[in-house]
């Protein structure tokens, strides 16, 4: 992907605006990215009045369950909508980022596309190569810095 190679140094120089959201890429997206990406969103984490549309998606599953790790300002029951999308991972991440709520609680979503993890926050999309512990720690530190409770910073890379 043109102009999206992160080489280190000044974080501001490595960030760019794409689809109206600040994004950072640790390296170009792998050409081995699958044509369908499995992702999810927690419905209670969507900004009121928002709509997640045009995902080119197939619904996989909807779960409603108690959230054992809910923060005091979050609902105790969460609805997780899992889907597979044929959108380019950058477009999918931008659509998720646009609808995620950042008040009162901080919400995020994540998904794997090929050899890259996308961790999507309101107005920010961070990525790192699967298995890159330093990259994962960098994203976890960002999550903590915006108020995501530590017990919720627990995504896997599968």
Q: How confident is the model at residue 35 (pLDDT cuts 50, 70, 90)?
A: confident
Q: Phi, psi (5° rounding) for residue 24? A: -135, 140
Please, what's the largest Cα pairwise distance for the chain?
Answer: 43
> What residues does 77 pair with on adjacent strands?
66
Hey, what are 92's tokens?
């999918």
The mean per-residue pLDDT over the stretch 59-63 comes to 97
pTM of this structure:
0.78
Beta strand pairing call for 37-42 and 116-121: unpaired
Hey, what are 117's tokens?
């993890």
The mean per-residue pLDDT over the stretch 142-155 comes to 93
* Side-chain half-sphere exposure of 102, counting CA atoms within 13 A: 12
């Amino acid at each position: 992907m043109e102009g999206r190679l992160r080489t280190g140094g000044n974080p501001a120089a490595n960030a760019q605006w794409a689809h109206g959201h600040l994004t950072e890429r640790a390296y170009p997206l792998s050409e081995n990215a699958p044509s369908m990406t499995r992702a999810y969103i927690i419905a209670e984490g969507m900004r009121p009045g928002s709509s997640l549309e045009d995902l080119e998606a197939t619904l996989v599953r909807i779960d409603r369950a108690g959230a054992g790790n809910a923060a005091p300002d979050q609902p105790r029951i969460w609805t997780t909508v899992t889907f597979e999308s044929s959108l380019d991972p950058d477009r999918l991440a931008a659509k998720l980022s646009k609808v995620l709520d950042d008040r009162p609680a901080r919400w995020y979503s994540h998904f794997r596309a090929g050899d890259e993890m996308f961790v999507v926050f309101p107005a920010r999309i961070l990525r790192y190569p699967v298995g890159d512990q330093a990259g994962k720690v960098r994203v976890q530190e960002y999550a903590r810095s915006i108020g995501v409770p530590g017990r919720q910073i627990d995504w896997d890379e599968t």
